[in-house]
Structure 1
């Protein structure tokens, strides 16, 4: 059900998001502390402002109220994916080649579940390669719990 709602909301939101010059990064429909949250993550060149989130929230909210695909009560949140955004789409892997990423695996590889290195890219839609200390590591996408941009302070 969750995946179906996320797909329906994505299809509803994309026209509004693209019309305003944004990219839909992700949609999440989750249960947290007894409340349901519908989270829409947007991005654009130069970043996302609070006003940008408000514009998308109002547009999408009105359409969701009209179509009413979610029968339970929920909170709608529209935000930027943040500096440590997860990489999910093929375009993300192309756009962020050469950037540092954090990779978290479901199961340990050589005794480790977390790796950090420079993203080389996505290959054959199934393999992700990163460079760690002059060594190339390759991971199956299905083995990765999370891959996101690394934030250096």
Structure 2
């Protein structure tokens, strides 16, 4: 069974059960890891989370379907998205706009976009995902200077400049929610223009 056929089988099975297939990974040793989520639409007033029962239901159905299809794997693991959930399409971007993401471009930004503000060879960014008018997307961040151990940071030091970069979805290699742990909540709220987002 080809990887494309396997992915299609998994996507169809998960969707048929009323879930969304977020990511499929094959690891050395025969582990097949499938990440699922509940479908989302802008009209959803309440966002529900995947439960253990959801994962068990999908696991049972996938085990049956993959056996029928003759897929080779040793162990199947079905789980909910973690704090570094991938964003794969326009609907994901709409769902998580305002949150902090780790973004990797397919190609460096280049001198024209960098305009002397960032390294022209840079491909990786962490910042707040925002809608760019009229129909695109952008990321906002500031490159905070990290103090060395034992170094005191002056309260008078000027805040680093805030950068904004627009992008098209086909320019992206990957985008994931930044794995920021906030013990008071999820911790992915958008920074204010005066706040710093670590790169």
Q: TM-score, normalised by structure 2?
A: 0.60
Tell me the equivalent position of 1:136: 164
Tell me the equivalent position of 1:117: 127
Structure possessing the higher radius of gyration over alpha carbons: 2
Tell me the equivalent position of 1:7: 8
Contact persistence 2:83–2:180 (CA under 8 A): no
Distance 1:13 1:52 in 2: 11
**Structure 1 or 2: larger strand share?**
1
Call closer, same or farther: CA 1:62–1:145 in 2, change over 3 Å.
same
SS of the residue 2:173 aligns to: strand
Contact persistence 2:32–2:73 (CA under 8 A): no
For structure 2, which runs of at least 5 residues remain unmatched after alignment?
Answer: 39-46, 110-119, 143-161, 182-199
CA shift, 1:14, in A, is: 1.2
Distance 2:133 2:31 in 1: 34
Tell me the equivalent position of 2:85: 85
For structure 1, which runs of at least 5 residues remain unmatched after alignment?
Answer: none
Call closer, same or farther: CA 1:9–1:99 in 2, change over 3 Å.
same
**Structure 1 or 2: larger helix share?**
1
Tell me the equivalent position of 1:60: 62
Distance 1:148 1:137 in 2: 17
Count of residue pairs the alignment pairs up: 143
Distance 1:73 1:117 in 2: 37
Contact persistence 1:6–1:27 (CA under 8 A): no
Call closer, same or farther: CA 1:73–1:41 in 2, change over 3 Å.
closer
SS of the residue 1:103 aligns to: strand
Deviations 1:85-144 (A, max 9, x none): 00002211111111111102233322322111111148899x542122443212233332
Q: TM-score, normalised by structure 1?
A: 0.76
